[in-house]
Amino acid sequence: MTGSRTKPRLPIEQLSILAVARFAEPIAYTSVFPYLPAMIRDFGIEQNKVARWAGLTSAVFSIAQSITAVPWGKASDRFGRKPVLICGLMSTMVTFLIWGMSTSLPMAITVRAIQGAGNGNVGIIRTMVAEMVTERVLQPKAFSIMPLVWSIGSVVGPSFGGFFAQPAKQYPNIFGNIELFKKFPYLLPNLVGSIFFLISMTSAIFFLKETLVSKRGEKDWGLQMGVRIRRALSRNPSSAQRRASFVDGEATAPLVPGNVNVKHSAAKPGSAGLRDVFTRQSTINLVTYTFLAFHSVAYDQNIPVYLNHPRQKHTGDNTHMPFYFNGGFGLDIGAIGTIVSLYGVACGLIQFLIYSPLVTRYGVLNCFKVCSIILPFTYFFTPYCGLIEDTTARYTALAILMTVKAFGIIIAFPSTTILLTNSATSLSILGTLNGFATTFSGLGRAAGPALTGLTFTWGAEHGYIVAPFAFLAFFAALGAIPVFMIHEGDGPTATPELSEAEDNDDSEDTLLSSDEDDDVSSPLLGNPVTRGRATTPSRRSELGINQIERHITNAPFSKWKGNRRRVNDAKTSRRDDIMCTEFKTYTRVWTSYFLFLLFFFFFCIRIGTHSHGVVRFSLLFFGNKLSLPY
């Protein structure tokens, strides 16, 4: 057998079906943003307290989602990805409709919590993409598809929310006489959005293949029905027969290469312990993912409230730079929906045109590092757009900042997903790891909007509209620290654990006999590893620690006792090099970064004309409500 390999290709058909199944969820999540402030005001909440309750309403969704994410992940490891995905779509559609009929704040909060608890699809879809795409070179393209779908949904969702909310009031000639929309003014965007859920569930049931290895051989009635639908829709019977035979084979065809040992990759549910899930690198990736969810979602939640906040004429009495000023943009629901939709368009263009070429040239981790430094400054300067009196200049400044924010987030989220996936040690724990990722990011998505909403309320009442944005900038800078401690892993493999392979002679013999005819074996998400040759010191710098261990273990002399010592020496040498490099990079980058922040802070103090501005800004982080004279 030669070592030549065909050029890897993306499973376009299955990724497209998964994208269709994913499309409805961002619509449900983002369509509420434009009308949420008005909805909360209709519940009888005062204007200055709208931000607080808007943040808490989003927080309960994320809290409930974080609580149930791991159980959903374990359920997908046991029952399969596809049925759990469909259950999540069904649950979200039902609660989405009930949300539009909310008549009180407690009802809205309760429904939002149930909606979050009933859907664990974020981690499940991420796991399915990782199981579909086995080549590391294709990861940037594959993992950028779902964020692109989210960006497109983020365009459609706010459009529904902004244009279809309060239809009896906005379009009295069409909906003015319909009592249903008078009683439930926010139901129409949810009714329209439910159509996308029906399309998503239908495509998933009939055309999406199961990716869990242990469930691929089982009969899928929905997939068989999809084959019949394709036959019925085909015009040419002969071509239909040929296509049907291909689809029938595709329905049970493996999504991973044939050289993967399925016996070991179909691990029993629950066989992996927490020690296997929470390795050093996976823990660091989870921390960065949590911080990213914290400040990015909080910013997206905070922007509509800020845009809806009334404008204020700035005078010498109510404005003292750099921190003491108030006022937003004073926009209505329709204008906010348009801005959020344009923001989604920018995200989609960045995702489609820039992300894949950028990370291919500069690397996933390097791009993630740059974005983690950009985001804090973007957050901090956002409220200063409201100080610009000229309307065109004000909107231009806001557009620039939101575009930069879109660039940072669109690059950061798929990058951290790739890094987290490659930090997994085995496919058997990938579903559980993504479940924990959803849990921790859910906690971040809950705490971020809630705390930012409270900070916004405090800032609006005391004249510091900059407070919530400075709060987000602080946590974005804090969350950027562990990014420079990340090391790109080689990705999960479907091979057995090495300790088990060495302790069990029979299993080792089986592995060796199956690999004797193969010159090259490809890890599931890593680079090709040449078997049958001892690893030289020069190759240790090219191969990851896990690949070194697999390489030596699978060599023809792998039963020799001395190989374990060689593996340990390779591990120690490689780990020392990594830690030394990480420490140098960490020290150099963050010394420069914090020196710049220190310079910027003292610069703000120097140009500040209000003696208590910095003191008040500092006190808000401790919740101190001391009354200081203006």
Question: Which residue is it, tokens 């909606």?
Answer: 115
Exposed/middle/buried for residue 614 (C-beta within 10 Å: 0-12, 13-18, 19+): middle
pLDDT at 172: 87
54 and 175: one domain? yes
Question: Which residues, including other chains, have CB under 8 Å from residue 336's CB and lie 6 or more apart?
Answer: 33, 34, 158, 162, 304, 307, 308
Cis peptide before 322 (omega within 30 of 0): yes
pLDDT at 373: 93
79 or 48, which is more confident: 79
Q: How many CB atoms lie within 10 A of CB 45?
A: 16
44, pLDDT greater than 80: yes
225 and 205: one domain? no
Q: Provide the pairing of β-strand 520-521 with 529-530.
A: antiparallel
512, pLDDT greater than 70: no
Q: Is residue 584 one of the residues assigned to a domain? A: no
Overall domain count for the chain: 3
Confidence category of residue 563, pLDDT binned at 50, 70, 90 = low
566 and 468: one domain? no
501 or 591, which is more confident: 591
Confidence category of residue 619, pLDDT binned at 50, 70, 90 = very low
421 or 525, which is more confident: 421
The answer to whether 170 and 79 are in contact (CB under 8 A) is no
The answer to whether 11 and 206 are in contact (CB under 8 A) is no
309 and 440: one domain? yes
239 and 380: one domain? no
Last residue of a domain, one of 573, 596, 617: 573
d(CA 97, CA 28): 10
Per-residue pLDDT, averaged over 295-302, amounts to: 87
d(CA 548, CA 537): 11
237 and 278: one domain? no
44 and 186: one domain? yes
Question: Which residue is it, tokens 């800078």?
Answer: 477
DSSP 521: E
Instruction: Tell me the pLDDT of the chain averaged across its residues.
Output: 72
Ranges 48-57, 208-217, 376-385, 516-525, most confident:
376-385
225 and 144: one domain? no
pLDDT at 90: 92
348 or 211, which is more confident: 211
267, pLDDT greater than 80: no
The answer to whether 52 and 457 are in contact (CB under 8 A) is yes
- Determine what percent of the chain is predicted with pLDDT higher than 90: 9
> Comparing C-alpha atoms, which of 31, 149, 126 is closest to residue 410?
149
Partner residues linked to 320 by β-bridges: 324
DSSP three-state, residue 324: strand
pLDDT at 572: 55
d(CA 32, CA 304): 10
589 or 8, which is more confident: 8
pLDDT at 36: 86
Confidence category of residue 538, pLDDT binned at 50, 70, 90 = very low
Q: Return contacts of 417-420, CB within 8 angstroms, 24+ apart.
A: 417/126, 417/143, 418/139, 418/140, 418/143, 418/364, 419/285, 419/364, 419/365, 419/368, 419/486, 419/488, 419/489, 420/282, 420/285, 420/286, 420/289
Q: Is residue 585 one of the residues assigned to a domain? A: no
pTM: 0.56
Q: Is residue 375 one of the residues assigned to a domain? A: yes
Q: Is residue 33 one of the residues assigned to a domain? A: yes
Strands (E) located in 387-471: none
Ranges 86-95, 229-238, 261-270, 515-524, most confident:
86-95
Q: Is residue 611 one of the residues assigned to a domain? A: no
DSSP three-state, residue 530: strand
Per-residue pLDDT, averaged over 286-314, amounts to: 86
d(CA 375, CA 357): 21
Query: Which tens digit of pLDDT belongs to each residue from 198-225?
Result: 988 998 899 888 888 888 778 888 888 8
| CATH number (domain holding residue 68) | 1.20.1250.20
Query: Which tens digit of pLDDT belongs to each residue from 119-165?
Result: 888 888 888 888 888 777 777 777 778 777 877 777 778 777 878 88
The answer to whether 329 and 305 are in contact (CB under 8 A) is no
pLDDT at 240: 43
Last residue of a domain, one of 522, 554, 573: 573
pLDDT at 272: 54
Q: What are phi and psi of 447, to 5 degrees?
A: -70, -35
274 or 38, which is more confident: 38
352, pLDDT greater than 80: no
Confidence category of residue 491, pLDDT binned at 50, 70, 90 = low
- Determine what percent of the chain is predicted with pLDDT higher than 70: 69
The answer to whether 372 and 480 are in contact (CB under 8 A) is yes
Q: Is residue 493 one of the residues assigned to a domain? A: no
pLDDT at 575: 52
* Residue 28: both structure tokens together: 């449900």
201 and 333: one domain? yes
Any idea which of 20-29, 359-368, 504-513 has the lowest mean pLDDT?
504-513
197, pLDDT greater than 80: yes
Per-residue pLDDT, averaged over 392-405, amounts to: 90
Burial 292-307 (b: 16+ CB within 10 A, else e): bbbbbbbbbbbbbbbb
d(CA 432, CA 279): 13
Q: How many CB atoms lie within 10 A of CB 73?
A: 28
494, pLDDT greater than 50: no
pLDDT at 503: 39
DSSP three-state, residue 329: coil
207 and 142: one domain? yes
Any idea which of 24-28, 180-184, 208-212 has the lowest mean pLDDT?
24-28
Per-residue pLDDT, averaged over 20-33, amounts to: 82
Confidence category of residue 380, pLDDT binned at 50, 70, 90 = very high
Per-residue pLDDT, averaged over 579-600, amounts to: 49
What number of CA atoms fall less than 13 Å from residue 226's CA on the CB side?
A: 19
d(CA 464, CA 468): 9
> Comparing C-alpha atoms, which of 342, 343, 400 is closest to residue 374?
400
387, pLDDT greater than 80: yes
d(CA 247, CA 228): 10
Q: Is residue 602 one of the residues assigned to a domain? A: no
* Residue 529: both structure tokens together: 């590893």
DSSP 350: I
Query: Which tens digit of pLDDT belongs to each residue from 51-85?
Result: 778 878 877 887 888 888 888 888 888 888 899 99
51 and 161: one domain? yes
Question: Which residues, including other chains, have CB under 8 Å from residue 606's CB and lie 6 or more apart?
Answer: none
Last residue of a domain, one of 548, 573, 598: 573
Query: Which tens digit of pLDDT belongs to each residue from 235-251?
Result: 554 444 443 333 333 33
Exposed/middle/buried for residue 497 (C-beta within 10 Å: 0-12, 13-18, 19+): middle
51 and 160: one domain? yes
Q: How many CB atoms lie within 10 A of CB 187?
A: 20
d(CA 474, CA 371): 15
pLDDT at 370: 92
Q: Is residue 75 one of the residues assigned to a domain? A: yes
The answer to whether 307 and 457 are in contact (CB under 8 A) is no
DSSP 423: T
CA 108 to chain centre: 25
Confidence category of residue 374, pLDDT binned at 50, 70, 90 = very high
Name the region of 252 (left: φ>0; alpha: ψ -120 to 50; beta: rest). alpha
Domain span at residue 556?
506-573
